[in-house]
Amino acid sequence: MSSDLSRRVEALLPRVERPVRYINSEWGARHASDAGHRTVLLYPDTYEVGQANQALAILYDRLNSIEGLAAERAYVPWVDMAAEMRSTGVPLFSLESCTAVVDFDILGITLPYELTYTNILEALDLAGIPLDATGRTEEHPIVLGGGPCAYNPEPVARFFDVILIGEGEDAVVQIATAHRDAKRSGLSRSEFLDNLAGMPGVYVPALYRPAPGGGVEPSGSAPPVVTKRVLTDIGVHRPPLCPVVPYMDVVHDRFTVEVLRGCTRGCRFCQAGMVYRPVRERSADDIVRDVMEGLRCTGYDEVSLTSLSTTDHSQLEEVLRRLTGRLEGSGITVSLPSLRVDAFSVSMARLVSGGRKSGLTFAPEAGTQRLRDVINKNVTEEDLIETVSRAFSAGWRRVKLYFMIGLPTETDEDILGIGGLVHRVQQAAREAVPASDRGSVRIGVSVSTFVPKAHTPFQWEGQIPTGEIVRRQGVLRSAMPRKGIDLSWHDADVSFLEGVVARGGREVAAAIESAWRAGARFDAWTEQFELAVWREAFAEAGLDPAAIASRSYQRDERLPWAHISSGVSERFLWLERERALTGTTTVDCSFDGCTGCDACGTLDVDVLLGGESRGGR
């Protein structure tokens, strides 16, 4: 059956753009179609966007390492391929064995960002799986979600049978094993889901109903609050050392070792910094060993040491010295995803660039010290200017700066402050290079619009209205130096939709479904995004999207995501909000002592630096 499907897929390939998206047999792909229990892992976007996703790579590796379990991959076909598949009756298929997705035991879908939600419906529909969990029968796979957006699951909750909150390394294996055992002992779909709802980190949306005061509550014995899963030590699982090596030129096409998880710098706008606590580092020995082994297995010519803030790793300098020594003369380079604004970071960048000085990236986020204190971004203008001077003296000619507009308490003065800061950075950069080289100095400025995210100190704040986003973008443009700046900003309509979907509750699902039915998909792709389709969809669902995005909540109101816990207490988040409004900063608990976020106590974990417990929480 699957070989027949494979032939039908192959017949479509000459007719579509970039057929390489749909071919299997990349190096490192695992083929275990005879396993007793099979999961297909889907990234809700095209192959080139999703292939390098680390979360799915980890789960793929974990599931395929367990006897009797297996995992394959699937992606969302681009619109041309989807049209061909529909017209020829070809269902959504897995890459490895070209098996119809509907024939798997579990369909795992990661939730990377809000604008992929219509793609989830596109994938379910192409697979022939009912969109609503309640419409599925024993013949359909269990649809399991997880990932960053699971921290506000409600807008997509009814499309999933199960949503895992938190880290999946152990949990996904337990869920797959429990499902295999349930099938063996003849349990029905609903019996399995009822049982699973008791597993830590598991949210079964169908067992919850809208609560009178907002949000949702269990209708039976399911837990009222689902607390995230967390690994005590990420070192117990090695990173995927022989991941799939794509043929296609994909986003983040390099070998990756996650060197630490979590970040406790405490930036108040940052969801990742709150929900991935605590900080857990891999040891230097493990990192060096895994990088060398992974490069041998994959043949990549670049390795990236990833995390939310790699320059915070307590042994980074040692790791880089050992790696650059071992890789000398091989043409293989080490890269760091982003840099902290300090001298140490520049010296680390000099170590890794392998002679290349392509460009450095820093994120001051706000234009004035007042606003940087509000968001707890502990970076000063002096730090930034000094860091840039140092980098340009050392030979760099390009720097990219990230900022946000629409942060709580922001005034036009703060936006004008971005222009002033960029101007002074430009001056410092020009002064640091020889006169003959000044023409090559490039400053990139990327400005996104703040979306107040669940489980952050700003979760109670509404998003600023679209008209105001557009006005502030105008202020920003007028404040920028005229020459030598490459300014880019996020589309206001896209930010607005992100705000609605990130802040909405269960009611938003109807609008997502309407938008998909009206043809919305790949909304993160500029050429595909149409706000008009979404406006129509919200109207059809009887919703006012602006009211959802801009709604502020009182302390005693129930938030749409109140049944989900990252371990960080609401009490701490509110305290952080209060400190923000008075411009009071908070220290980083990995270095300066506990700040009382409650994550370690709730989750029974501790900060791990260099593979050693810091202790004394």
Partner 1 sequence: MAAGEFRLRVCYAKSGRARFLSHLEVMRALERSSRRAALPYAVTKGFNPHMKAAFGPALPVGTAGEREYFDIWLTQPVPVADALERLRRSTPAELGIDQVRYVHEREPSLTAAATMARYEVAVGGEGVTAEGIAEALVTVIGEGRLEVERKGKTKVFDLARSLPEEVRTRSTGPLVIVEVTTRMGQEGSLRPDALLEEALSRTSVDGAVVSVTRTDILIEEEGVVRRPL
Residues interacting with partner 1, by CB under 8 A? 10, 13-14, 19-20, 23-27, 245, 247-249, 295-301, 329-332, 354-356
Least Å distance, CB 247 to partner 1, is 5
Least Å distance, CB 357 to partner 1, is 9
Residues 200-226: b if buried by 16+ CB within 10 A, e if exposed: bbbbbbbbbeeeeeebbebeeebbeeb
Least Å distance, CB 97 to partner 1, is 14
Least Å distance, CB 351 to partner 1, is 16
Nearer to partner 1, 3 or 221 (CB): 3
Contact 244, 74 (CB under 8 A): no
Nearer to partner 1, 134 or 330 (CB): 330
Nearer to partner 1, 26 or 105 (CB): 26
Q: How far is CA 327 from the centre of its chain?
A: 30
Contact 215, 558 (CB under 8 A): yes
Contact 315, 267 (CB under 8 A): no
Tokens of 147: 């990932």
Q: What whole-number distance in Å separates Cα of residue 523 and Cα of residue 531?
A: 9
Nearer to partner 1, 356 or 482 (CB): 356
Tokens of 545: 């999207």
Nearer to partner 1, 245 or 351 (CB): 245
Least Å distance, CB 303 to partner 1, is 12
Cβ atoms within 10 Å of 370's Cβ, excluding its own: 15
Whose CA is closest to 53, among 142, 141, 147, 191? Answer: 147
Least Å distance, CB 171 to partner 1, is 32
Least Å distance, CB 256 to partner 1, is 15
Nearer to partner 1, 32 or 245 (CB): 245
Least Å distance, CB 93 to partner 1, is 13
Q: Residue 612: left if φ>0, alpha if ψ -120 to 50, beta else—which one? A: beta
DSSP 142: E
Q: What whole-number distance in Å separates Cα of residue 332 and Cα of residue 354?
A: 8
Please state the three-class secondary structure of 367-423 as a single string.
Answer: CCHHHHHHCCCCCCHHHHHHHHHHHHHCCCCEEEEEEEECCCCCCHHHHHHHHHHHH
Tokens of 469: 């986003």
Least Å distance, CB 449 to partner 1, is 36
DSSP string, 301-323: SEEEEESS-GGG-TTHHHHHHHH
Nearer to partner 1, 25 or 554 (CB): 25
Nearer to partner 1, 300 or 538 (CB): 300
Nearer to partner 1, 22 or 160 (CB): 22
